[in-house]
């Protein structure tokens, strides 16, 4: 087990060595380790060496000048200057919050960014302002639309954070696929088959091989197949792609750069936009009704759903955000488990950058 | 087969007899028959007698004074004065469009409304303005959240309409359940079992009985079960409920009135808000980038996805909105099929209101 503080300090040191300014290195480390704390291990410290590789490939700019290239009272387009999504997305979210303070809501489309960690972190930035936060991003193509053999969409997550009163906030954060890629990696390590509806093979047939994507297959949209509503998951992933990529002037569909693949070196001429795209929003609750009224009703909403009768075999009904919050409390107390391969990656980074990391020496 | 014009004229006459003003009767009829044209038969003329029953029960106000009760530059809350959702929602959408013209985007939460037909119709109102349209609504509780035996959510649809250039627009319109209730009704008439993941029985166990909901069971959120991502469908349905019901001051969760059940007569004191809630939005495309640039990229997006290689057994990859548009063209030409029971309902209405309906005499 590793303490979140030690992982965060280590990540901060790595981002500093990559050339990030002090404040941005700290922010990037915080966003990254928020994923580990909330149980989205695939998007946390396990990706640190991937970000370093992006920098090695000159695909990420450690000292970006993030600028607003277009705006109206309630909207803006931000160019991330090829910075880390981990720092570009929170800046864009702060802009959305400022817009919402003036205009009731703020909506910012971001181009020329990179992987931003977990969507939920950025959406939750709205909560202390009594605002609803929204966040989505496109991502490298791993997902085949309904009826398609080709991979044209990313796992394209959507996060929505809603403030409550005395109850903890409602935080939904979901990939628009049946299962996130991290869930497949778990099955790969255990050598277990994937449930139906998670993947298809290279020919476009339903498959249960957890390695299917690496073998030329694809992840499937939420629903899995047409009969179970995969066209709806495809619609949702497509909306995320259009809001994040087409509205902003980033890449979209099959052109979205993969996270950190050494082989990816498309020239600008082959692309349809700049980098990866995100879309974030903030809505002031009191742009609709007094914040106290809203939060009292949200408390009632949350309690009503939490008190529902569970189905046989289930302990209780959960509110979106409950599992992540409970895990965060547990991991802040007891530490974060790391796979041996991830710890090894961190030791390599420690050696390369000459970062003293006592906590990795065991 | 019945022509859309004759059905629309008939519905207009019925709404007039219900007491609606001329323009609103025409609008309600247009929205209603748009569902039949686009193939959402369960939300079209088949519901006409249900709207009449709502009026008989004094649950719908045929001459509503729709008013804005709160606003900021980019938001408003509208009270629908218990009017037909079929006319309240388009008015709210026009307000969102006006807000967007000024502030870049416009977001309107609606309370004290009723069933509004298909969400896609309202979202598409933004398209002629070079805006992206969004529309969602809550609905009477038929859906059990993941792990819940109780029905706490409606089928809570989301529609997103995106303008393109030379290609037809992108129009996603989806219930946040594995299958809409209309799909179950089809299976009931054919006495066929439902696929797994569509419904659970009264005890909360997975079921394939297409009559399960009537027997105390529930529809299931998109995904069907936890392993196939039903918690994501639950999150989406919950977000629709919160935006439509809690932001607006309408009812939410188990308190949302059912469409037209004679037994439903809850007093205001038992409720948590006013009527059914909707949430609509409009985003000016050029609040983000020049409209022509955006639409050219959307054309490229649409062509790229349409040209994807189909999986074995599939003819081609569809763009959201394709099936509905193709069906509308066919039905405008060849007419709309009605179930015998629906035609019989219309004949009853014809007799009750003394509306001459030659087209129903066969």
- Given a cut of 90, whether residue A142 has pLDDT beyond it is yes
Calculate mean pLDDT across residues A64-80: 98
- What is the arithmetic mean of pLDDT over A141-162? 98
Q: Looking at residue A225, what is its pLDDT?
A: 96
| pLDDT tens digits for range B207-235 | 999 999 999 999 999 999 999 999 999 99
pLDDT at B356: 87
B270 confidence band (pLDDT: 50, 70, 90): confident
Interface test with A, best of B101, B163, B228 (most A CBs within 10 A): B228
Contact status, residue B177 vs residue B157, Cβ threshold 8 Å: no
CB contact under 8 A, A75 and B236: no
| B213, B219 contact by CB (below 8 A) | yes
Pair type for strands B67-72 and B75-79: antiparallel
Contacts of A245 (CB under 8 A, 6+ apart): A111, A138, A251, A252, A253, A256, A273, A277
B252 touches chain A (CB under 8 A): yes
CB atoms within 10 A of CB B105: 31
Q: How far is residue A128's CA from residue A124's CA, in Å, rounded to a whole number?
A: 8
Question: What pTM does this model have?
Answer: 0.97
Nearest CA in chain B to A179: B229
Per-residue model confidence as pLDDT tens digits over B67-111 = 999 999 999 999 999 999 999 999 999 999 999 999 999 999 999
Mean pLDDT of chain A: 95
Instruction: State chain B's mean pLDDT as an integer.
Output: 95
Rounded to 5°, angle at Cα B174 from B203 and B251: 65
ipTM over 0.95: yes
CA distance B306 to B323: 13
Question: Which positions 22-51 of A are in contact with B (Cβ < 8 Å)?
Answer: none
Instruction: Report pLDDT digits (tens) over A315-359.
Output: 999 999 999 999 999 999 999 999 999 999 999 999 999 998 888
SS3 label, residue B86: helix
The whole-number pLDDT of residue A260 equals 65
Minimal Cα–Cα distance from B316 to chain A, Å? 7
Overall average pLDDT of the A66-80 stretch: 98
Query: Which of B278, B268, B349, B241 lies closest to B59 in space, CA to CA?
Result: B268
pLDDT value, residue B76: 98
User: What percent of chain A has pLDDT above 70?
Assistant: 97
Residue A270 is predicted with a pLDDT of: 83
- pLDDT computed for residue B34 by the predictor: 98
Q: Which fold has domain B70-173+233-320?
A: Ribosomal Protein S8; Chain: A, domain 1 (3.30.1370)
Nearest residue to B206 via CA among B191, B195, B192: B195
Task: Kindly report, residue by residue over B116-172, the tens digit of the pLDDT.
Answer: 999 999 999 999 999 999 999 999 999 999 999 999 999 999 999 999 999 999 999
Q: Distance between CA A252 and CA A140 in Å, rounded?
A: 9
Reply yes or no on whether the pLDDT at A107 is more than 60: yes
Compute how many other C-beta atoms are within 10 angstroms of the C-beta atom of residue A225. Answer: 18
Does the pLDDT value for residue A312 go beyond 90?
A: yes
Q: Which residue of B has its CA nearest to A281?
A: B105
CATH of A1-56+335-362, one of 3.30.565.10, 2.40.30.10, 1.10.1530.10, 2.40.50.100: 1.10.1530.10
Task: Name the band, by pLDDT with cuts 50, 70 and 90, for residue B292.
Answer: very high
pLDDT recorded at residue A361: 72
Helix, strand, coil percentages, rounded to 5, for chain A: 45, 15, 40
CB count in 10 Å sphere of residue A50 = 14
Measured between CB atoms, does A271 come within 8 Å of chain B?
Answer: no
- Confidence bin at B359 (pLDDT 50/70/90): confident
What ranges make up the beta strands (E) of chain B? 67-72, 75-79, 105-113, 131-137, 158-162, 170-174, 199-200, 206-207, 218-219, 276-284
Choose the closest CB to A72 out of B104, B228, B252: B104
| A232 and chain B in contact, CB less than 8 A | yes
| Per CATH, domain A64-176+229-320 is 1.10.260.40 | no
pLDDT tens digit sequence for A238-292: 999 999 999 999 999 999 998 866 555 556 668 999 999 999 999 999 999 999 9
H-type alpha helices, chain A = 4-17, 22-37, 48-56, 85-103, 119-124, 181-190, 230-241, 291-306, 322-334, 340-353
Laid out side by side, the sheet with A206-207 consists of A206-207, A199-200, A218-219
Q: Where are the domains of chain B?
A: 1-56+322-362, 70-173+233-320
Helix axes A22-37, A322-334, angle to 10 degrees: 110
| Chain A residues near residue B132 by CB distance under 8 angstroms | 247
For residue A172, the distance in angstroms to the closest alpha carbon of chain B comes to 6
Residue B60: strand, helix, or coil: coil
Q: Which residue has the tokens 């391969």?
A: A341
B1-56+322-362, which class in CATH? mainly alpha
Q: What is the CATH number of domain A179-219?
A: 3.30.60.50
Question: Is the CB of B316 inside 8 Å of chain A's CB atoms?
Answer: yes
> Would you call A75 an interface residue with chain B, using a CB distance cutoff of 8 Å?
yes
Distance CA B63, CA B354 (A): 21
B62: contact with A, CB 8 A cutoff: no
pLDDT band at A180 (very low <50, low <70, confident <90, very high): confident
């Amino acid at each position: 087990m590793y303490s979140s503080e030690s992982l965060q300090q280590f990540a901060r040191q790595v981002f500093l060595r990559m050339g990030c300014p002090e404040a941005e290195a700290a922010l990037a480390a915080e966003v990254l380790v928020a994923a580990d704390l909330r149980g989205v291990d695939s998007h946390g410290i396990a990706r640190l060496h991937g970000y370093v590789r992006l920098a090695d490939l000159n695909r990420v700019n450690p000292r970006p000048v993030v600028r607003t290239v277009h705006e109206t009272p309630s909207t803006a387009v931000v160019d991330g200057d090829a910075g880390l999504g981990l720092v570009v997305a929170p800046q864009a979210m702060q802009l959305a919050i400022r817009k919402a303070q003036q205009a009731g809501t703020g909506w910012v489309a971001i181009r020329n960014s990179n992987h931003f960690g977990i969507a939920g972190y950025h959406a939750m930035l709205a909560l202390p302002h009594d605002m609803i936060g929204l966040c989505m991003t496109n991502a490298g193509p791993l997902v085949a639309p309904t009826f398609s053999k080709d991979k044209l969409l990313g796992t394209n997550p959507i996060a929505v954070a809603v403030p409550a009163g005395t109850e903890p906030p409602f935080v939904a954060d979901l990939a628009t696929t049946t299962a996130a890629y991290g869930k497949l990696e778990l099955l790969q390590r255990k050598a277990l088959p994937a449930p139906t509806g998670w993947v298809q093979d290279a020919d476009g047939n339903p498959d249960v091989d957890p390695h299917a994507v690496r073998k030329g297959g694809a992840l499937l949209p939420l629903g899995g197949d047409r009969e179970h509503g995969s066209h709806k998951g495809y619609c949702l992933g497509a909306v995320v792609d259009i809001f994040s990529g087409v509205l902003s002037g980033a890449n979209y569909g099959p052109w979205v750069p993969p996270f950190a693949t050494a082989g990816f070196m498309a020239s600008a001429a082959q692309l349809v936009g700049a980098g990866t795209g995100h879309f974030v929003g903030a809505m002031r609750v009191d742009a609709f009704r007094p914040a106290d009224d809203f939060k009292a009703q949200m408390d009632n909403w949350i309690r009503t759903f939490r008190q529902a009768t569970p189905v046989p075999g289930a302990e209780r009904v959960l509110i979106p955000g409950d599992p992540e919050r409970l895990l965060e409390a547990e991991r802040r107390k007891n530490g974060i488990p790391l796979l041996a391969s991830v710890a090894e990656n961190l030791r390599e980074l420690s050696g390369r950058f000459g970062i003293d990391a006592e906590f990795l020496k065991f």
